[in-house]
C-alpha cells in the first residue's frame, strides 16, 4: 500500500472517529467514579420485549435479535460502546489500497469458536458466501452489496463471492466492485460474523438459529421461545473475560409487565414504559438512562398501494399535519427529539433543517384538497399498523388526533412483532410504524437500507424507488473525499423527504433502568448493552 491516497482515507477515518468521540463524550468533564469491587460470577436477568425473529447472523435485522446476537457473535470490527468509534474485534489490523477497492484484514490468532475450533479466514469466506446464497434468503445481505461478485451470487449465477479470498489462515482480502472508503464500517454489523461450517451442516442451515455458534463473549445454551434465551460465559473468549457467569434474556410481550418485574427484583434491567419516564428519573436517579441515540422513529406509506402511490401531495399533507414538538414534549415527556429529517444528530452530515414539514394544519388541508381529498373526503378507509407492547398505541392515538383535526380519519391496529413484520412485507399493512437504529455511524446506513430501490421489501418497507436517489447513493459510496460524499448523501436525503415515502416523527432516546446491584451497565448510542462489561457489586 502506497501512502498517497491511502493516507487521505486514514485521515478521513480519524477525523470521523474523533468527531464522534466528541459528540458522545458529553459537554462537561467526566466524573471520577469511585472504585468498587467488580465481582466475578452471577447471572444477569435481561429484559427483552418480544421474542427475536432469528439468532442466525444472516437474518439479524431487528433489535431483539441483534441484542442477543451481539453477545454470541463477533466480527472483524466493532464500535466503541461510548463513542461509536470503529475499533478492531477479531481483526488485528487492516489496510486499504489507494482507491478504496481492496481491504486486507489481518486476523488475530487463536480466536476460537464456541465449539473449540480456531476461526480462520476461510470461515469468513464461507460465512459471507452463505449470507449471499439465495437459498439462505438473507434479508440483510445487502450490507455486502459492495463486494465484487455480490450480484452474481445473490442472482444465482455464481456460488462464491469473487471479491472475498483467504490469502492464508490469518489474512482476508476483500475486493469491492467500486471505491467505497466507508466499507470497513459495514464489517461491524453482525451479518459479517463468522460461523463454523460444520455446525451449519450438522443442524441444517435453516436450523442454525436454534443452535447458534460464534466467537463472542457468551455461549448459547438454550432458547425457550416466547419465554427466555440463556447464554453462558465463554471461557475461551479472546477478548476481556466477561465478569458474569451468564445472562438470561427474559422475553416479555409488553413493557409494563417487565417494568413491574424489575421493580419486584425479578429483572436486573428493564425498558421504562411510556408515561413513566419522569417518575423513573425521580425514583432511580442515575440508574435511569435517558440519552440520545442514533435512531429515528417514523411512519411509512407503501408506495405500491393506493392511495399512497398516487399522490405526493397526500403524503406531504400527512407530514404537515403532525405536531412533532408536542408529541415529544408531552406524550413522550421530553424524552424524544422532534425529527428534522431522516439522519439523526450525531451522524456526520446531519442536517438540522433537512425537511420542510413544520406543524401546519392549514398547509395540510391545502395539500389534501390539491390531492383530491378536500377535508379528507374521498379517502378509502385507512388503518395504521403498529407492534404491540411498547407504547406505540399512545403515539398512534396522538397522530390520529392530529390527522382528525385536518379531516382525515383512520383506524389503528396492533400486532405481535413477528406477525407485524410479515404483514408489512406482504403489503397487507400499508400504513405502518417502524424505527431504525444505526448499525454504523454514517449517513449511508440511514439512506441506503431504507430507500435504495433494490432494498424494497427488505428494510425499504415503503417500497420506495427513485432513480435519481439510487444514483446519488451509489455515487456517494464511491466518492473518497468525505465532504463531497456527505454532500451527495444530503442531496439524496432532501429528495427523499420531498417525495415523502415516510413521516419522520422522532429521534430516539434510550429509556432504560438497571439494578443497584450491578455495575458497568451502559447503553450504547445504538441502544445496546455490552454485557461483557457488566458485573455484580456483591
Q: In sequence order, what DSSP letters do the residues of 351-404 get, joined into one string?
A: -TT-------HHHHHHHHHHTT-GGGTTPPPEEEEEESSSSHHHHHHHHHHHHH
Strand partners of residue 291: 510
Is residue 427 over pLDDT 90?
A: yes
Is residue 28 over pLDDT 90?
A: no
Averaged pLDDT score across all residues of the chain: 93
Q: Is 97 exposed, middle or buried (0-12, 13-18, 19+ CB in 10 A)?
A: middle
Is residue 106 over pLDDT 80?
A: yes
pLDDT in tens, 352-406: 999 999 999 999 999 999 999 999 999 999 999 999 988 899 999 999 999 999 9
pLDDT in tens, 128-138: 999 999 999 99
pTM of the predicted protein model: 0.88
3-state class (DSSP) for residue 142: helix
Is residue 312 over pLDDT 80?
A: yes
Give the pLDDT score at 538: 80
Element (H, E) at 412: strand 410-415
CATH 3.40.109.10 fits 4-25+36-248+515-536, yes or no: no
Strand partners of residue 434: 298
Torsional sign, CA 107, 110, 114, 115:
positive
pLDDT grade, residue 58 (50/70/90)?
very high
Instruction: Report yes or no: 436 and 295 within 8 Å, Cβ to Cβ.
Output: yes
Distance CA 163, CA 372 (A): 51
3-state class (DSSP) for residue 432: strand
Of 20-34, 203-217, 356-370, 465-479, give the lowest mean pLDDT range.
20-34
Give the pLDDT score at 472: 98
Distance CA 354, CA 447 (A): 13
Q: How far is CA 487 from CA 9, 18, 345, 476, 492, in A?
A: 17, 20, 16, 8, 9
pLDDT in tens, 196-214: 999 999 999 999 999 999 9
Is residue 505 over pLDDT 70?
A: yes
Give the pLDDT score at 46: 99
Is residue 12 over pLDDT 90?
A: no
Residue 414, C-alpha cell as written in the block: 396492533
Residue 389, C-alpha cell as written in the block: 407492547
Give the pLDDT score at 77: 98
pLDDT grade, residue 152 (50/70/90)?
very high
Is residue 31 over pLDDT 60?
A: no
Q: How far is CA 486 from CA 55, 130, 473, 525, in A?
A: 34, 32, 10, 21
Pinpoint the residues of the chain covered by CATH 3.40.190.10.
4-25+36-248+515-536
Instruction: Report yes or no: 196 and 72 within 8 Å, Cβ to Cβ.
Output: no
Pinpoint the residues of the chain covered by CATH 3.10.105.10.
291-510
State what percent of residues in the chain have pLDDT above 70.
Answer: 93
Mean pLDDT of 503-510: 97
Give the pLDDT score at 386: 97
Is residue 469 over pLDDT 80?
A: yes
Distance CA 389, CA 417 (A): 9
Is residue 424 over pLDDT 90?
A: yes
Strand residue runs (E) in 50-156? 77-79, 86-88, 91-96, 102-107
pLDDT grade, residue 67 (50/70/90)?
very high
3-state class (DSSP) for residue 434: strand
Is residue 21 over pLDDT 60?
A: no
Give the pLDDT score at 34: 56
State what percent of residues in the chain have pLDDT above 90.
Answer: 90
CATH T-level fold of 291-510: Dipeptide-binding Protein; domain 3 (3.10.105)
Amino acid at each position: 500500500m502506497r501512502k498517497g491516497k491511502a493516507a487521505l482515507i486514514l485521515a478521513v477515518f480519524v477525523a470521523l472517529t474523533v468527531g464522534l468521540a466528541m459528540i458522545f463524550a458529553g459537554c462537561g468533564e467526566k466524573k471520577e467514579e469511585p472504585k468498587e469491587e467488580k465481582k466475578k460470577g452471577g447471572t444477569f436477568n435481561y429484559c427483552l420485549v418480544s421474542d427475536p425473529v432469528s439468532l442466525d447472523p444472516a437474518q439479524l435485522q431487528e433489535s431483539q435479535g441483534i441484542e442477543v446476537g451481539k453477545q454470541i457473535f463477533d466480527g472483524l470490527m466493532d464500535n466503541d460502546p461510548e463513542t461509536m468509534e470503529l475499533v478492531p474485534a477479531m481483526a488485528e489490523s487492516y489496510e486499504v489500497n489507494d482507491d478504496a477497492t481492496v481491504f486486507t484484514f489481518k486476523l488475530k490468532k487463536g480466536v476460537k469458536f464456541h465449539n473449540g475450533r480456531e476461526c480462520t479466514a476461510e470461515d469468513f469466506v464461507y460465512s459471507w458466501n452463505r449470507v449471499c446464497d439465495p437459498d439462505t434468503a438473507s434479508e440483510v445481505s445487502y450490507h455486502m452489496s459492495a463486494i465484487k461478485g455480490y450480484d452474481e451470487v445473490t442472482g444465482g449465477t455464481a456460488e462464491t463471492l469473487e471479491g472475498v479470498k483467504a490469502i492464508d489462515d490469518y489474512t482476508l482480502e476483500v475486493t469491492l466492485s467500486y471505491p467505497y472508503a466507508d466499507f470497513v464500517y459495514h464489517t461491524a454489523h453482525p451479518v459479517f460474523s463468522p460461523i463454523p461450517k460444520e455446525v451449519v451442516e450438522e443442524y441444517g442451515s435453516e436450523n442454525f438459529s436454534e443452535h447458534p455458534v460464534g466467537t463472542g463473549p457468551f455461549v448459547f445454551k438454550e432458547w425457550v421461545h416466547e419465554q427466555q434465551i440463556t447464554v453462558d460465559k465463554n471461557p475461551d473468549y479472546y477478548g476481556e473475560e466477561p465478569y458474569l457467569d451468564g445472562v438470561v434474556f427474559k422475553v416479555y410481550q409488553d413493557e409494563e409487565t417487565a417494568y413491574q418485574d424489575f421493580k419486584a427484583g425479578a429483572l436486573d434491567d428493564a425498558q421504562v414504559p411510556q408515561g413513566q419516564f419522569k417518575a423513573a428519573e425521580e425514583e432511580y436517579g442515575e440508574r435511569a438512562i435517558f440519552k440520545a441515540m442514533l435512531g429515528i422513529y417514523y411512519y411509512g406509506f407503501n408506495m405500491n398501494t393506493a392511495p399512497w402511490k398516487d399522490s405526493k401531495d397526500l403524503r406531504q399533507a400527512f407530514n404537515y399535519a403532525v405536531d412533532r414538538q408536542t408529541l415529544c414534549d408531552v406524550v413522550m415527556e421530553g424524552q424524544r427529539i422532534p425529527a428534522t429529517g431522516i439522519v439523526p444528530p450525531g451522524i456526520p452530515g446531519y442536517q438540522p433543517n433537512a425537511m420542510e414539514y413544520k406543524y401546519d394544519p392549514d398547509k395540510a388541508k391545502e395539500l389534501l384538497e390539491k390531492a383530491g381529498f378536500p377535508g379528507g373526503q374521498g379517502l378509502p378507509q385507512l388503518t395504521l399498523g403498529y407492534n404491540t407492547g411498547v407504547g406505540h398505541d399512545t403515539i398512534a392515538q396522538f397522530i390520529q388526533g392530529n390527522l382528525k383535526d385536518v379531516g382525515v380519519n383512520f383506524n389503528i391496529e396492533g400486532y405481535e412483532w413477528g406477525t407485524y413484520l410479515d404483514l408489512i412485507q406482504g403489503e397487507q399493512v400499508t400504513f405502518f410504524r417502524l424505527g431504525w437504529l444505526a448499525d454504523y455511524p454514517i449517513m449511508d446506513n440511514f439512506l441506503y437500507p431504507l430507500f435504495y430501490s433494490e432494498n424494497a421489501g427488505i428494510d425499504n418497507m415503503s417500497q420506495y424507488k427513485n432513480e435519481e436517489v439510487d444514483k446519488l447513493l451509489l455515487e456517494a459510496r464511491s466518492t473518497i473525499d468525505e465532504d463531497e460524499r456527505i454532500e451527495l448523501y444530503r442531496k439524496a436525503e432532501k429528495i427523499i423527504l420531498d417525495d415523502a415515502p415516510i413521516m419522520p416523527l422522532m429521534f430516539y432516546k434510550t429509556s432504560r433502568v438497571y439494578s443497584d446491584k450491578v455495575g458497568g451497565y451502559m447503553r450504547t448510542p445504538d441502544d445496546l448493552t455490552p454485557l461483557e462489561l457488566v458485573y455484580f457489586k456483591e
